[in-house]
Amino acid sequence: MRHPTDPGRYLMSRSRAPELVQPDDILEFTLDSQSVKPTDVRLYGERVIHGTIYQTRPDVNAVCHHHAPSILPFCISGTELKPVYHLGATLGEKVPFWDARDDFGDTTLIVATPEEGASLARALGANWIVLMRRHGATVAGRTLEELTFRTIYTARNAALQIQAHTLGHVSPLNAAETELAGEYNLRPGPVARAWEYWNVRLDKAEGTWRPKNANLRAKKKSPPKRKTKSRRRG
């Protein structure tokens, strides 16, 4: 995500499996994707994806690059990804494709150079998601919460679009519906509700979740203390 107090920098973990990332793993980078402080730890090779998008899109404050299984069939086949239900409207009206072959010929398919990152950012343009041929997707958001909401529901939209094709004709949202539903779903209320739910799921998975009123319920359930009468000595 973009640095909350310095828009000319962004924050990203060192190269590590996402489930293992700890607060100390978060590093600060310039928009040229150089570490602000010298470090010997391994860094993500594709961090230029994030830096170049932050350079070209000042309205974007969070970026996610992923390889969700439901998204990859579209990246492989070139089939257009369309919003097919109301929460899928966060895709936006258009989901562009980017193919590294067009600008760079045969590559490793890893977006590792500033030139490759800039090419991908141009393909994203003013949109919120870009599909990368034979690779994955890159998603943008104005906030971290919005980004998470869009990333999860666009992946679900992709799965539903594939399933619907097995039944026959697919009727996606039209342009007006996409705009209206997208604006509605990205209101503070729906995003905050989903964000709270995902946070609780994460806390439960890590074993750190406790209900807010757990202490209060525990006090109510505890048995009352017995009063003992003192005996008089004669």
Nearest to 170 by CA among 162, 159, 178: 162
Q: Which of 46, 116, 145, 146 is catalytic?
A: 46
Name the H helices within the chain.
48-56, 72-77, 100-104, 114-124, 144-165, 175-185, 188-205, 214-221
Residue 152 and residue 140 in contact, taking contact as beta carbons nearer than 8 Å: no
**pTM reported for the whole predicted model:** 0.87
In this predicted structure, what is the pLDDT of residue 211? 84
In this predicted structure, what is the pLDDT of residue 225? 58
Q: Residue 18 in 3-state DSSP?
A: helix
Q: Enumerate the domain spans of the chain.
A: 9-207
- How many Å apart are CA 233 and CA 152, to the nearest integer? 75
pLDDT tens for the chain, 234 residues long, are: 999 999 999 999 999 998 899 999 999 999 999 999 999 999 999 999 999 999 999 999 999 999 999 999 999 999 999 999 999 999 998 999 999 999 999 999 999 999 999 999 999 999 999 999 999 999 999 999 999 999 999 999 999 999 999 999 999 999 999 999 999 999 999 999 999 999 999 899 888 888 877 555 555 555 555 555 555 554
CATH of domain 9-207: 3.40.225.10
First to last CA, the chain: 78
Residue 46 among the catalytic residues: yes
Residue 132 and residue 63 in contact, taking contact as beta carbons nearer than 8 Å: no
Nearest to 97 by CA among 130, 119, 50, 74: 130
In this predicted structure, what is the pLDDT of residue 234? 46
